[in-house]
Homo-oligomer: A and B are copies of this chain.
Amino acid sequence: MSTQQHIRIAVDAVVFGYESQKGLSILLIKRGIEPFRDYWALPGGLVLEEESLEQAVLRELQEETGITLDYLEQLYTFGEPKRDPRNRVISVSYFGLVRPNHFDTKASTDAVEAEWFSIRNTPNLAFDHQKILDTAKERLRGKLSYQPIGFDLLSEEFPFSDLEHLYTSILEKDIDRRNFRKKIMSFGILEETSKFRQEGSGRPAKLFRFNTKKYKALEKAGFHFEIKFV
């Protein structure tokens, strides 16, 4: 306790969004200050004295991007001494998901630009943010298989094909549509609505809704969500 630390603590957020046409996207901001001025970076910043880490993430996201999250969890803490070229900054990174209807990045108070980038085409990132992003991508792929987290990337009501596309595009594996649907349906965590949606031509698709209550109940009863691919 005797030596004074000069380490600072920040939070950074990897926020994913998904649309069936554009695929997976990630939310980035353009830095207005050195170091890495004009580089794209993960939204984030220093933690204030009296706020929790989660509060810090939500505040920074609000300030820098105006976004509202649908899911948030801690990802990993990156603390290498040289990850920030100036001072030592430890970053507690978070993993967030946003539904398409919450995509809009309102004008931010900080006058920083916030923009969605396709995951297939991200710019050079500041600091070690590429490493953080890679960790988050891994986490996303991992979680898709054993947690019903994909629903937090879709609209409240979605056609079944959106779920298929989400899985195939993120996991980069083919699935058997019949088996996939059978499996998901067997869990009993999707509610049919009486609505339909149609994009362009083709048969209109029935819309479904994820039943959070039912899932919570099943989970408590020992049920484990799991989707495997070949």
Min C-beta distance of A39 to chain B, whole Å: 16
Query: Is A47 touching B7 in the complex (CB atoms < 8 A)?
Result: yes
State which of B5, B46, B48 has its C-beta within 8 Å of the C-beta of A49.
B5
* A77 located at the interface, meaning its Cβ lies under 8 Å from any Cβ of chain B in the complex: yes
Stretch at the interface among A19-27, A50-58, A63-71, A125-133: A50-58
Min C-beta distance of A210 to chain B, whole Å: 23
State which of B9, B48, B88 has its C-beta within 8 Å of the C-beta of A90.
B9
- For chain A, residues 119 to 169, give those with C-beta under 8 angstroms from any C-beta of chain B: none
* A92 located at the interface, meaning its Cβ lies under 8 Å from any Cβ of chain B in the complex: yes
- Rounded to whole angstroms, the CA-CA distance of A8 and B47 in the bound complex is 11
* A188 located at the interface, meaning its Cβ lies under 8 Å from any Cβ of chain B in the complex: no
Query: Is A81 touching B51 in the complex (CB atoms < 8 A)?
Result: yes
- Rounded to whole angstroms, the CA-CA distance of A8 and B88 in the bound complex is 12
- Rounded to whole angstroms, the CA-CA distance of A50 and B88 in the bound complex is 9
Query: Is A9 touching B9 in the complex (CB atoms < 8 A)?
Result: yes
Query: Is B74 touching A53 in the complex (CB atoms < 8 A)?
Result: no
* A178 located at the interface, meaning its Cβ lies under 8 Å from any Cβ of chain B in the complex: no
State which of B33, B47, B79, B81 has its C-beta within 8 Å of the C-beta of A5.
B47
Min C-beta distance of A2 to chain B, whole Å: 10
Known: A74-B77, A77-B74. A33 touches B92 (CB 8 A): no
Query: Is A1 touching B46 in the complex (CB atoms < 8 A)?
Result: yes
Query: Is B50 touching A81 in the complex (CB atoms < 8 A)?
Result: yes
* A80 located at the interface, meaning its Cβ lies under 8 Å from any Cβ of chain B in the complex: yes
Contact with B along A77-117 (1 / 0, CB 8 A): 10111000000101010000000000000000000000000
- Rounded to whole angstroms, the CA-CA distance of A76 and B51 in the bound complex is 18
List, sorted by A's number, 7 A–B pairs whose CB atoms are closer than 8 Å.
Answer: A5-B8, A5-B9, A5-B49, A7-B9, A7-B49, A49-B88, A77-B92
Closest 10 CB pairs of A and B: A53-B79, A77-B77, A77-B92, A7-B9, A5-B8, A50-B81, A52-B80, A9-B90, A9-B9, A52-B81
Having A5-B8, A6-B49, one finds 17 other A-B pairs with CB under 8 Å, namely A1-B33, A1-B46, A3-B48, A5-B47, A7-B8, A7-B49, A9-B79, A9-B90, A47-B79, A49-B81, A51-B81, A52-B79, A52-B81, A53-B79, A74-B76, A77-B77, A90-B92
